[in-house]
Structure 1
C-alpha cells in the first residue's frame, strides 16, 4: 500500500534534517507546534492538494539578539526556540524549514507559503531580518529567492 502524503512528508523531514540524531536541532512535536502558535499563528504553514500535505514551512520569529547568537553558533536551534520570549515584538524571522514532496518541487509552493507567513507576521511585528541554516542547495536557493522578494536581508549560519 502506498504511503500517504503525510507519511511521506514525515519521512522527508527525517531524511533531510535527521533530527533524531542531532539533539541541537528542534524536534517538532505537538508541544512545539502549540508554542509556535502562541508565538504567532502564521509560524506553521501547510499546502494540501486534498490528499494530505505536499509542503510544510516552519518559521520562528525571535529577537535580533537571539538571531545573532544563533548565527554566531553560540546557541543551537533548539536553544533559539526555547529562548525566544512570548508576547514581545520580534525583529528577526528564522526560516527554520521548508519541505516539499519531490513531484511538487519547483512550482513556488514553499516560496508562496513563506511569503504569506512573512507578510502575516510582519503585520504584527517590526521584522528587520530573515535568517537561515540551510541543509541543501535548494535551501540556499530558496533563501536567496526570498531575499529578492522581500525588503529583508537574509543572514546565513555558516555551519
Structure 2
C-alpha cells in the first residue's frame, strides 16, 4: 500500500525489483489508525502516489488504483537541484547521470510490464511544473492499474480455487 511523494530513482528500482520477486500486490492507500477504542484501523483509498513511488506501484504482480487515489508523475531530476532546477548549473557528468537513470528507469518500466506511455507522461513534466495526475484512462494505458488486486484482497476463496486460478494465470505468462 503506497502513500508517498516519491524518492530516489535507484532505490525505487531496487525496491520494486524486490517487490516483484516476492510476488507482492500493490495499491494506493493510506493506513488510518483506530480513532477510538473498539474501532478498527482501516485503509483510506484517498492517498497520493507520486514521482518514483508510481514506478514502485508498477512493481506489483497485481496493481490497483482506487478512484479516490492520486497518481502523479514528473521528470526525474538531480535531487540536490530540484527546488530551483532552472537556475542551477549542470555539468556534462550531471547530464550523463540523468540520462543513465532514464535508461535504467526505461528498462525497469518494461521489465515490470509498464508501457512507454508511462515514461512519456513522466518525462514531459519538468520539475518546475505541477506534477501530472494520471487519469483513469492513462492508468490503464500505462499498465499501472491491472484491476486484479480486488479479487485477491476480497473475500477468501477455497484453497483449491486459488491454486487453480494461479496456475492458469502462470501458464498464460501473466504475472
Structure (1 or 2) with the greater strand fraction = 1
Larger radius of gyration: 2
